[in-house]
């Protein structure tokens, strides 16, 4: 009995010693990790590195970022200020908030900073993309791609975008149960990118499979760049390979079949524009380019579309005011695809609609910010930003803290009206599409899509929340409802008082 007691005491002592050793090892490694990055400060600059924590060895604060969501940035900003250091996705990072701080980052492109997404994002998007290019290569690519989003190009896309949205809303209205708006918005924007932007004639079954693969790709674009079996990064690589095979097949079929088209899609314009600039694109460049176009049109637009629908549900007075404007401008129609065709000039004359879209993008910016790498040490807000570090400028936090916006947490489209114009005092207080030489090329297409969606929602649908409360929002990796947004749709006539006959027939067929 005595020996058994001694053995138990010995075992407990050994366990305690192991726990103490592990704790000490973690504490020492944590401290060495902090010192490792403190040693990277530029000795020729007397200013300190920004305050903050580098988290744990190798993983940094990536775990905190993923788990805390919106609370990560706000809690550290409250503790350390508008400029603080952290370590995310394998890189030392300085996060920046505030119009003047962001202005210096965005206007410092090519001499203070250069674009650099996390390694996982760079590798998965591909080397031939606009987002991954720098210097003269970036400027040349922007010139080539700019024609895709010209006024003439948008005018040619508009009828096709309107038809895709009308078909989608009819399908939503015909569904006997509530739909998950965020999931369906992703399918809508993916279909728009494939059918309208790229002009691919992919069979529905194959398109559905491609969408599933693309979702896996997007889910792992912002992952730890660790290429191990079952890692998110490996899943992203595998999804990219599958996507590229499908895209190459679609591109080759498209290049061989040029008859019967009634408009030039983005891929047509891209191929022609590259030839005009003296460089015909290789198949790999075309695959990377199409993948980037889908990426640009997919996740952020689906996020903004979901936010738009949620705000129209939350604020019925905004929806009614929007309908009043549509009636006054003769835009409100019955929903028949052959009636109520929209034009860019018509949409540009809808001022309240523009205010609604701007307010959605202010309060619910899909992406939190953009990445840069520091080319030379410079001063920002009293700190040194060391050469070689990454910088992330925060769009959403800059909107949230901008002094020009009154009642910043209130959804108020009239803040952008001509009478108030709260965004007129300073360009960098409001930047949902970034700024400087890397302003989002597709911003006009994104706003066009959202405006058409808003017009069709106001014109042809009644919709109501199918749950007792609105869902919680997460910001990682892109703003979206945590459990989706469950909404029931009903098709209406132009008087907004009854279900359309064709919708009623579809409802009867599905019951």
Q: Distance between CA 16 and CA 23 in Å, rounded?
A: 10
**Short-list 64, 63, 60, CA closest to 72:** 64
Q: How far apart are CA 369 and CA 190, in angstroms?
A: 23
Taking the CB of residue 8, how many other CB atoms lie within 10 A of it? 10
Q: Is 440 annotated as a binding residue?
A: yes
Name the H helices within 330-379.
Answer: 344-348, 351-363
Neighbouring residues of 363: CB distance < 8 A, sequence distance ≥ 6? 307, 311, 399, 409, 411
- Which two structure tokens, joined as six digits, stand for 251? 């591109």
Beta bridge partners of 390: 93, 373
Residues in Cβ contact with 275 at an 8 Å cutoff, skipping those fewer than 6 apart: none
Residue 1, Cα to own-chain centre: how many angstroms?
67
Peptide bond into 477 cis (omega under 30): yes
Residues 6+ apart with CB under 8 A from 122: 116, 132
Residue partners of 95: CB distance under 8 A and separation at least 6: 73, 76, 77, 83, 84, 85, 86, 369, 391, 392, 394
Cα distances (Å, whole numbers) of residue 140 to 126, 274, 500: 17, 10, 49
DSSP run (H or E) holding 275: helix 266-276
Q: Is 497 helix (H, G, I), strand (E, B) or coil?
A: coil
Query: Cis peptide before 195, with omega less than 30 degrees from 0?
Result: no
What are 408's two structure tokens? 């910043």
Q: In what order do the strands lie in the sheet with 486-491?
A: 179-180, 486-491, 461-465
**Tokens representing residue 70 in the block:** 């919106």
Tokens representing 335 are: 């929903």
Task: Give which of 35, 57, 52 is closest to 94, Cα–Cα.
Answer: 52
Please, is 313 exposed, middle or buried when counting C-beta atoms within 10 Å of its C-beta (0-12, 13-18, 19+)? middle
Q: What token pair was written down for 74?
A: 């706000």
* CA separation for the pair 452, 218 (Å, rounded): 25
Q: Please report where in the chains the tokens 């994104």 appear, as a residue.
A: 446
Q: What is the DSSP letter of 405?
A: S
From the annotation, which residues make up the binding site?
Answer: 440
Residues flagged as binding site for heme: 440
């Amino acid at each position: 009995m005595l020996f058994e007691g001694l053995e138990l005491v010995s075992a407990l002592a050994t366990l305690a010693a192991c726990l103490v050793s592990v704790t000490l090892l973690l504490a020492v490694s944590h401290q060495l990790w902090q010192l490792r990055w403190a040693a990277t400060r530029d000795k020729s600059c007397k200013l300190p590195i920004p305050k903050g924590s580098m988290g744990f060895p190798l993983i940094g604060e990536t775990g905190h970022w993923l788990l805390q969501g919106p609370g990560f940035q706000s809690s550290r900003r409250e503790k350390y200020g508008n400029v603080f250091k952290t370590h995310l996705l394998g890189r030392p990072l300085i996060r920046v908030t505030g119009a003047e701080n962001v202005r210096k980052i965005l206007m410092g492109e090519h001499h203070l900073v250069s674009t650099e997404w996390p390694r996982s994002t760079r590798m998965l998007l591909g080397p031939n993309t606009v987002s991954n290019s720098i210097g003269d290569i970036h400027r040349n690519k922007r010139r080539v791609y700019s024609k895709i989003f010209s006024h003439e190009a948008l005018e040619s896309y508009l009828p096709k975008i309107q038809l895709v949205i009308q078909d989608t809303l009819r399908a939503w209205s015909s569904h006997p149960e509530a739909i998950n708006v965020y999931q369906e918005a992703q399918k809508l924007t993916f279909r728009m990118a494939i059918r309208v932007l790229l002009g691919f004639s992919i069979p529905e079954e194959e398109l559905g499979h491609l969408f599933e693969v693309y979702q896996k790709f997007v889910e792992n674009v912002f992952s730890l760049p660790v290429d191990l079996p079952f890692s998110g990064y490996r899943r992203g690589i595998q999804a990219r390979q599958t996507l590229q095979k499908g895209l190459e097949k679609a591109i080759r079929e498209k290049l061989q079949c040029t008859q019967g088209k009634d408009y030039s899609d983005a891929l047509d314009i891209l191929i022609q524009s590259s030839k005009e600039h003296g460089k015909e694109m290789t198949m790999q460049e075309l695959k990377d380019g199409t993948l980037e176009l889908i990426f640009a049109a997919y996740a952020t637009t689906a996020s903004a579309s979901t936010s738009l629908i949620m705000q129209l549900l939350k604020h019925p007075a905004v929806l009614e005011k929007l309908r009043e404007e549509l009636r006054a401008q003769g835009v409100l129609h019955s929903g028949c695809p052959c009636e109520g065709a929209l034009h860019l000039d018509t949409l540009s004359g809808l001022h309240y609609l523009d205010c609604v879209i701007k307010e959605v993008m202010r309060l619910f910016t899909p992406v939190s910010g953009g990445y840069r790498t520091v080319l030379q040490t410079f001063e920002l807000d009293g700190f040194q930003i060391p050469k070689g570090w990454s910088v992330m400028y925060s769009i959403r936090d800059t909107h949230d803290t901008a002094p020009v916006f009154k009642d910043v947490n209130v959804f108020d489209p009239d803040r952008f009206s001509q009478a108030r114009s709260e965004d007129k005092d300073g360009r960098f207080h409001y930047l949902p599409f970034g700024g400087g030489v890397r302003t989002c090329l597709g911003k006009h297409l994104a706003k066009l899509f959202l405006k058409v969606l808003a017009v069709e929602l106001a014109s042809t649908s009644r919709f109501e929340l199918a749950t007792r409360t609105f869902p919680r929002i997460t910001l990682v990796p892109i703003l979206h409802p945590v459990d989706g947004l469950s909404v029931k749709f009903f098709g209406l006539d132009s008087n907004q008082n009854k279900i359309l006959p064709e919708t009623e027939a579809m409802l009867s067929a599905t019951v």
